[in-house]
Structure 1
């Protein structure tokens, strides 16, 4: 599917239409074949479980090993839960955000997806990767402080103005 989108972007996309952006999330442990997707996307997300299954012990270790796999103009984001996230911008700059942990952890289910969605939401609006991962970390932190996804839209709007 990704190759089809790449073909569309390069060969079929009307000049007035924006390029379709591709992202991939490597989350589950031991899915090594998914590493082949990193060079095809505009932004690749790598989770802690996947990274540690590849014997990468830290965010910076993961970035160091995967940075050579990203294509020019692409971005890489490594999410490490309670440690925050780190990434490589389109320009090759290393960026990092701390985790934003609420005073009480209520529900962690969906925090990773919330981080990815928050990060992408800023990237598609033209924000820097630094702003994107900072917002993603803030939104994921807010999410784990609430039950389920109730009020997440309200939190999104409130946090969006802090980045």
Structure 2
């Protein structure tokens, strides 16, 4: 796997579908590498960081009670990368902010209805804001186009009728 920068961290994570139950994750500034083998076939994925939605802080209900997890969130659960876990949420907040700043991804938190809420108001280099309502009905839609507006319409020009006159045509 070729990376543009030296790896920041190597993580060995649990993967129930992989052979041996583990996968190796390599974190770089612009690329996330995932190595694992499935049914004897080695897989090596190199994903750009922009494929991830953000750095999430979520509450997980465990056997001993709730614990907190900071992870790189991806639409595919197999590509989600856990960065840190703790029983104390205050201990994870600096890591959560640090990883989000390092990867230039928004900080996401899990809402009460299990939806993700962006806390930074940023998505990479984009600044997020309130969605603007769609414009329904254009007030000038019955206006003539620019080309036809430059010409006079037939209704505005009176027809000239010449009676009892002869047309003179000269071909010289």
Structure showing greater Rg:
2
Point out which structure has higher relative CO (alpha carbons under 8 A, 6+ apart).
1
TM-score (norm 2): 0.26
Structure (1/2) with the larger strand percentage:
2
TM-score (norm 1): 0.27
